[in-house]
Amino acid sequence: MEHFNIKAVSAAGITAAVWLLLGISGIAADTGCAAYSPCEILIRTGGELAQAVSELEAEVAEDASDPYRDRPDIDTGDWMFILANPWNDIGDYTPELAYLEGQQFDVRIIEPMEEMVKAARAEGLSVLLSSGYRSYATQTWLFNRKAAEYGETVAATIVARPGTSEHQTGLCCDITDHYYEMKDASLENTEMYQWMSRHCDEYGFIVRFPKGREDITGIIYEPWHFRYVGKEAAAYIMEHDLTLEEFLELYQQ
């Protein structure tokens, strides 16, 4: 919104300048200024400024109607924006995989993940990577096991149905502290999460399932789950406190 305020101030300033110039020009015209005199130049300048104000006001109005007009120019069809959630089934999608610290990931995020982990450890944090890529078959086994215990309806609130788990994309990872491996909301109080949530976007990652957005993501708050979307999108998502669903929706308007 800071961008909007600056424009508003600029528009007001130009408007004042136009009225001042037109006022001076009008007074001078009453004295019988000749053509192409400084007075007429002022009048012409005033007209140009008036047009500039009109154009700027139109731009300000457009900003007001679309507060996310500054969203990055990205292709939502790129691999890094694949969306898996309760409403988007990716079937048996399988990326090209590679290992990092015992976990599998889409080979294209190995480098940024490694850089983020290295940076966190340089701050004295004890990084533990877990639950990277999970195949469709693995997710089926996990879901069926829970379904046999609780029934499918309840199981779906605990384990994602096959084809709807983000872990199948190979673009995410659960990141915790070696000394605090509990995966619950209290993890947000650890130095690990606090550092990760402040710096993950620098490496192209986002907090995928933020607090209070369960109705949008379909997933409980998970301060341990980080997802790769590329640096440009990650910076925008984290700065504007968006979910991946909300971010992608901006490009459907």
CB within 8 Å of 147: residues ≥ 6 apart? 155
Longest dimension (CA), the chain: 96
pLDDT recorded at residue 39: 55
pLDDT recorded at residue 182: 87
Q: Which residues on adjacent β-strands are paired with residue 209? A: 222
Alpha-carbon torsion, ordered 26, 31, 33, 39, to 10 deg: -30
Q: Is 2 an annotated catalytic residue?
A: no
79-252 has CATH 3.40.50.11060 classification: no
**Which pLDDT tens digit goes with each residue over 162-176?**
999 999 999 999 999
pLDDT beyond 50 at 21: no
Residue-range domain boundaries for the chain: 2-65, 79-252
pLDDT recorded at residue 155: 86
The 10 Å CB-count burial string (b at 16+, else e) for 121-140 is eeeebebbbebbbbbbeebe
CA distance 133 to 100: 11
pLDDT recorded at residue 158: 81
Q: Which residues on adjacent β-strands are paired with residue 193? A: none
Residue tagged active-site, from 222, 239, 246, 249: 222
Judge whether 164 and 137 are in contact, CB under 8 Å.
no
- Residue carrying the six token digits 């006022």: 23
Q: Within a 10 A sphere around the Cβ of 53, how many other Cβ atoms?
A: 19
CA distance 90 to 167: 11
Predicted confidence band of residue 151 (pLDDT cuts 50, 70, 90): very high
For the segment 60-71, the average pLDDT, to the nearest whole number, is 73
Judge whether 149 and 236 are in contact, CB under 8 Å.
no
CA distance 200 to 112: 10
